[in-house]
Structure 1
């Protein structure tokens, strides 16, 4: 799971300004939930205080970030059917009728954050790499 903030223009700018050239085999250990994960050291270069959680992004920032996220999923060799599900998910968010209601965009941002987190958690725990269809809202 990666916060969408990393794919916003500000996230890319901050990440680039904190990028450091390190050996490819240099790793750090990070804790996510109850799991320990090895990450290349260069991925931990962004100070934690700069990162904005998904539910606190503006709807516009979420839309821009997903436009940057989707091509990266393809570059990282995600199966095309999963990339399509995420594309459908974001289209469904942007066109959902609740968006035009008071605080509708905020509700959709919170839903998006929780749905993506749950999807990644389920996917990581799955033995057969299957999880719920994220496109359905």
Structure 2
């Protein structure tokens, strides 16, 4: 708290009493005047001086009051800023804390738990990028489970984020499998089964709209029922077509 001590603050003029100039103590100063005249003259003079001192004293008190009010206001402002800063820091800490998603307590666990493709395949699908259908096959999911079991979580690889920055991610999420088979090399039955699994996976991923899902479902339906599949080499032609067309479609999304 700021406090200013003025030389006059030690003696409040409002508390001073006018001396009794009519007393014998002032007889020597009143030579040549009657006691009453001199006393009246000195009283007027003292009163005038004391009034001036009172005004100065009042101004001093006003200045000290304003200084105290300013100091109190600064203290309150500083306290408010500190409180707001702490609140922002707590909000930032809370924002960075991992969030657990809600769940449906009445939902039962299915009798068959689906196998999941690798982190690499899921990361690409979340960004609507192309993956080979092999990643959705039982072989691909088994390879993903084996890689997840044998890979260290402390091993990282470099990936490019959406903002074009280079970021470190677990190597399993940035490295393609060496066992992956090109879509062009699939059999007709493999393409149909894995295409269905692919649709099941993207249906559960965030960001994939009903329109995208329906488009791909219709795409494979028409290929599976195309008249060309009954002709010589027709299935092989359609397998190559779906691989190139789907690859081009994902590139357009990107």
Distance 2:250 2:228 in 1: 25
SS at match of 1:119: helix
- Give the number of equivalent residue pairs: 118
SS at match of 2:157: strand
Distance 1:116 1:6 in 2: 15
Distance 2:242 2:235 in 1: 10
Q: 1:28 touches 1:41 (CA, 8 Å); kept in 2?
A: yes
Distance 1:69 1:111 in 2: 17
Distance 1:54 1:98 in 2: 18
Task: Please report the TM-score for the alignment, with normalisation by the length of structure 1.
Answer: 0.75
Distance 1:67 1:36, change over 3 A: farther
Q: 1:29 touches 1:36 (CA, 8 Å); kept in 2?
A: no
Match of 1:3?
Answer: 132
SS at match of 2:158: strand
Out of 70, 83, 87, the position equivalent to 2:199 is 70
Q: 1:4 touches 1:54 (CA, 8 Å); kept in 2?
A: yes
Distance 1:41 1:123, change over 3 A: same
List runs of 5+ in structure 2 lacking aligned partners: 1-129
Distance 1:29 1:62 in 2: 31
Q: CA RMSD in A?
A: 2.5
Distance 1:46 1:72 in 2: 18
1:58 aligns with 2:182: no
Q: Counterparts of 1:1-137 in structure 2 under 5 Å?
A: 1-19=130-148, 20=151, 22=153, 27-29=156-158, 40-44=170-174, 47-48=177-178, 50-77=179-206, 78-124=208-254
Query: Shift of residue 43 of structure 1?
Result: 2.7
List runs of 5+ in structure 1 lacking aligned partners: 125-137
Query: Shift of residue 46 of structure 1?
Result: 5.7
Match of 2:77?
Answer: none
> If each structure's strand is expressed as a fraction of its own residues, which one has the higher value?
1
Query: Shift of residue 29 of structure 1?
Result: 3.0
Distance 1:21 1:67 in 2: 32
> If each structure's helix is expressed as a fraction of its own residues, which one has the higher value?
2
Distance 1:37 1:55 in 2: 32
Distance 2:132 2:249 in 1: 13
